[in-house]
Every structure is written in C-alpha cells, then in structure tokens.
Structure 1
C-alpha cells in the first residue's frame, strides 16, 4: 500500500504537528506500507524540491503564501500542482491530507483529477485554533466562513479521521455521516520517547532545582494553555509547600508576558524559564519534574481537542495534573492516571498540586497506571492499525486511473 501524506508543514521543523506526523509515517513504514509526504507553502524555502529528513521523503512546495484570501487561494492552486507532481513521482494508492482545511482543498483537486481516494484528517478545527491563538474571534465572518469550508471539505472527502471523540461529535452535529468518521487518537512513539532517562543532577544544579519539588510545563506558550494561571498559583503553592519550584520549558506568543508576570510575582525566585530546547534534549528536563501541569483554559478548542503533551508525560512516568476540560478528560482518569482541577482557577490549581505533593506514597501507583494507559491505548505502533480498514475499503472501490 502506498500512501501520500499532504501536510501543512513537516520535518525538519519541530512542533506537535510535525511530531505526530513523524510518528504516523514511521509507524506506517514499520507496518510495511510505503509512504511519502508533500508539505505546503508554509514550510518555507527548502534547498531541494524533494528531500529526505529522518529517513522520510518530503516533496516541497515553493513558498511563501501572500497575505489575504487571494494569497491563500493562490497558495492552494500552487500546492495542488505540487501534489500532482508528487503523485506522478510516487504513484500512491491513496491521498491522506492533514488539517488545516486548505490542505484538504488542494488534495481534493488532485484526488478528483487523478481518481484517487482521499482521507482528510482533522487535528483541530482551524477556526477554533485561530481563536485559541488570539488571531481570530468566535462568531466572526471569517470564523463562520472557515467553519463552513471545513464542513464542505468533510462532505467531499471519502473518509474523515479525527484525533478525538470531541471533534467526531461536533462533525456528526454538522450532519457528517458517522460511517465516514474514524478516531485516530494522539499517541506516543514509545520507541523514541518510551524510556525515561535518570534524573540529570548536573542540570538540576545548573537550574537551581536541587532539593526542590518541581512542577513543570514543557511545550508551547499559547494563551489557551493557561500558563498565566499556573504562575498565579505559585504564591499559594509555595506557602503550602516551601520547596515548590516551577520549571517552564518552551516558548511562544505569550513568553514575554509570562516572563514579566513571573518577574513581578512575590515568589519570582521559585520560577525558572529556560526557553526552547532541542527535541533530543527534552527528556533531560522531564527527568527533573515531579508533576507536569497542564492548566488549559476552558473554550471550544480545549473542550474539543486532546493535547499530546500529557501522553508524553505519562510515557516518561511523570505525574500529570490538568484542568478539567473536555480534551483532558479523554486522556486522564481523575485520581487514577492523573489529577483534574477546575479550569481558570489558580487557587484550585495550587491546592491540587499541593495535595499531590503531600501524597508522595501514591506516586508510584499513579505513574504505573499512566504508563500502562499509554502502552495499552495510546501507543503509535498499535494506534496505526486504525487506518488499515479505512484505507483498504477506499482502495477496493477506487477506479484504477491515477
């Protein structure tokens, strides 16, 4: 089976999007399928039209995309031309487009022209992601237009995959046939991220975390992540647990505001920012953290979409505490694999973390259950099997004219 993946961006860029993509492609190759990918104009300038990264083949589309809707439409047309060239080179049996919806539009053009089946995979609704990133407003004309376009694309794709039940339920509410929908949940490549490294004492000393009870966040600093609530919770937490420390690893749009908030905190000395770190160094920072905190704010995006980071934390045998929003409830069983606390409430967050720190005797059992959940239900080597019946059904009915 030959699958051509159609992506907004991919390796060597690093993001949750590219890490999920890499996991999918590597797991499909391990299954014996042949895979290649096409990245869109947002990838940026590449030295070669086709390049290999981490053993994977990527066909590149010349960028960038001009601003505005006309630029987006022109980008879709250019992207469709590049996908068609990749079809000629790779001769796929199926196209697998990944959100945002512009990728599906470009793929639909080629799928119809070349009589290839198309799977469209949605990781988040583009309109809700814009609200979460602060670049859009719920209910605006652009929001409604993007939502309508997403629904239009789902009706025309041969099959639709989503990363969680929240997105599936929303699409069914829009009238999308449930028989077209498959849930392919976020997972962890345990071959890459499955063996926790020993505590890095030298790094702990370098960061001044020796002897501390370390709360950590490792990821992107977007507003919807609620990291302002995490910093606001620290004075109350330190009052209850004087050795509590907060380690912030990553960066993003909110970084400057969060650093300023931390500097103004009465417990500023208990908060450490280290910026972005190379992906191959992330495990060193996980090794220092007792509890990974995910205080996402409550909104459509966080209620509908499951994040990847809590799964990585469980795979690393770290304790997980997260806000009680829909996306987290799909991953975390409160009191069993993690702790859920009310969203948008720094005091409740501080109290939940203090309670976890107070009950160290329960940590090993909690860590074991979290790790087992990832191994049994969120491991990419088994997750990937969910695509097989979808692909096979579409290939069996597709006309043979590529």
Structure 2
C-alpha cells in the first residue's frame, strides 16, 4: 500500500528498497563487525531489497561476500597490513552509485571514503545511516597515544553528526554515543547468535583431550583476534596472578592475529587452537569452562554472547557491549576495566567452584535465547525506512 505522504517511487517496505553500503572491511579479514554486515545484507536481499556494497577487495578474502561487492581504491595500513585503508570515492564508484540510485546510504566505518559517501548523499538529499561497530577512540590507548583520544573523538563527532541517524549494537554503547554528543537519533542494531552452532551440546571431551587438556582441568578461554586492543595485556597479567597464587587451570586461546607471538610468549603454558570457524568454533567455545573477555573496545561483544549461548560463564570488563549482556553475579562477572586483581579473583571463584560455573552458565544460556538474527536485522531495515520517510517529509516542507 502506498503512503500518501511520500513522493512517488519511494518505498514503504523493505521490498524494493535500494541500499548503498560502505564498509572499510566487508570480507577480506574476518571479524564480528563484517560478519554482522554480511548477515544484514543477506537478510535484506531475502526480503526483496537491492543492496550494493562498496568496500576494498583483495585477491584472497577471508570469506565470500554476500551480495554485490564493488571494489574501492585502498592501500594496506602500515603496521597492520592485513587491513586496508579506503582512499577515495573514485569516478568509477561515483558513476556506479549514480546508476544504482540508492534510497539510503549506510556507512559502517568513519574512514575517508565514508566521509565522501556522506557528502555525496547529503548533496542529493538522501538519508544516511551510520552503524557503530567499535570504539575507535579507545584503540589509541594500546599504542601509547592516549593523549590523542580527545582529538579523535572530536573527529568522530563531526562524522557521526553529519549522518541522519546511528545504529549501535547495545544500549550501553548508545548511552556512550549520546554522552559523547555523537548524535541523538540512535537505534539499536544488536547481534544474534547461531543456535545451531553455539549450544552446550557442542562441548567435546575428545577435542579437549586432543589438545592435551584433561577432563578434570578447568579451562579459561580467550576468543577473538589476537591484537593488543582486545586486552591481551590485561588477560595475561590476570593469568599471571592465578599462577602466582597456585590456582590450577589451563588457558585455551582461540583465534589468530598479528599479536600471537607476543601473546604466546606471555602465556607459555597456554594451548593455542588457532582460528576456528562454523561448528568447530562452537565446539571450541563450548569446550571452555569460563570465557575471559577483558576488552573495552567492543560495542557489543559477539564472543560474550557466543559463550553465553554455550552455557559458559563470562568474566568481562564492565564496558560497552558486555554490560548489556552479562548480569553481574548471575551469568558472569563484570569487572572494572584493567583491574587485574579483581579479574584474577573472579576467575579463581569459577575455577574452584563447579556449581557456580554451572549456575551462571545456565543463566547466560537463558539470556542468549533473546537474540534472533532476523528480528535484529529487521530493526535496521525499519530504521532505513524511517529515515527515508523523514527525509522525504523534510524535502516537502
């Protein structure tokens, strides 16, 4: 049914909606943010929308792109060559955009090309939605440049305030964005969990044994890319506390990344299982006894939700993302970021108290049942349509 308040040709439902999505990393390196974007595009396509994705391309991406991917000029980031830095909204890309003629532009990282895409959309009076996937301003703390954080925050504020609306993965992150005055039109685009992969039944004693982990050993797990901004220093310092106190445990690290050598040197007795995907990842997470996630850079914390779905209690930093997932002293512990002694004490409690692990793990699994991917992605589609209506109404006034 048409909406009499909208100009002719503008969509009133997801079917027929044209979305131009800009991403700094859509599929060349696997992480939680780009996997969420691919899931979103898949959902939109199934609902009858038309989506074109503009992002850097590489010869051997981490996984196939969902939908139509248009390559944009990019170079490797110095010191982090696995990532690409988008350079420009080239004439070729501009022509492609004009031919596609989107109803809405979605930008997912505050890079140069995203800035140009926002300008392109504003010039044409098209609505712009920005999705916030990570707390970029906190990264500087891990590279001895924390003094630059206020300047970076100001740059991010300029970018996000040029957008018509934002979507954040958690209410705690939305509150941070409001406090930072990034924007005041903020909806929630949460994250879902694949229950076919992440569930307590995926636990495997045989797999643990193949890694040299005995059935009676309590495993403290780390899950994620091995980069310093994931809190590897806090993780290893906390484990050191347990070792000094003689608390028997094993550390299982699941993931790969440029800081693996550093992490392995700090945790010489840890088991490094490398990258795991699909059912193998579900097995790895379910085979942990507690997940330790000290990172403060996530806006949601996919790994936290995946552990909860597997019935694994979580010890996490009381930061954006985890605060919206973990109920402190119910499904895990939320600890002041960087508080190594408190992290270690919480881990000790789980290591030494099997009934506590079981009770908190069960509570986390119950909470994880609330996260359905289709319902979550429909919230983004609804935001697109709302922004289209608002922009059209503004043009008519």
| RMSD over aligned Cα atoms | 3.2
* Cα separation, 2, equivalents of 1:273 and 1:181: 39
Tell which deviates more after alignment, 254-263 or 224-233.
224-233
The equivalent residue for 1:188 is 192
CA contact (8 A) 2:199 2:282 kept: no
* Cα separation, 2, equivalents of 1:53 and 1:224: 26
CA contact (8 A) 1:218 1:248 kept: yes
* Cα separation, 1, equivalents of 2:353 and 2:38: 37
- 1:157 matched to 2:166: no
Aligned residues: 369
The equivalent residue for 1:37 is 53
Equivalences for residues 311-330 of structure 1 within 5 A: 311-330=305-324
CA contact (8 A) 1:120 1:157 kept: yes
Please state which structure has a larger fraction of its residues in helix: 1
The equivalent residue for 2:119 is 109
Equivalences for residues 3-402 of structure 1 within 5 A: 3-40=19-56, 43-44=57-58, 53=64, 55-64=66-75, 75-76=86-87, 78-79=88-89, 81=91, 83-88=93-98, 90-129=100-139, 131-134=140-143, 137-140=145-148, 143-175=149-181, 178=184, 180-185=185-190, 187-190=191-194, 193-211=197-215, 212-234=217-239, 237=242, 241-242=247-248, 244-263=249-268, 268=269, 271-278=270-277, 281-296=280-295, 302=297, 305-376=299-370, 378-398=371-391
* Cα separation, 1, equivalents of 2:113 and 2:76: 13
The CA deviation at 1:80 is 5.3
The TM-score with structure 1 as length reference comes to 0.79
* Cα separation, 1, equivalents of 2:142 and 2:66: 32
* Cα separation, 2, equivalents of 1:167 and 1:254: 27
Deviation string 1:337-369 (CA, Å, 9 cap, x unpaired) is 212234434443232122123332244442332
The TM-score with structure 2 as length reference comes to 0.80
User: For structure 2, which runs of at least 5 residues remain unmatched after alignment?
Assistant: 1-16, 79-84
CA contact (8 A) 2:21 2:106 kept: yes
The equivalent residue for 2:13 is none
The CA deviation at 1:320 is 1.2
CA contact (8 A) 2:202 2:287 kept: no
SS in 1 for 2:74: coil
The CA deviation at 1:175 is 4.3
Residue 276 and residue 25 in structure 1: after superposition, are their counterparts in 2 closer, same or farther (change >3 A)?
same
The equivalent residue for 2:6 is none
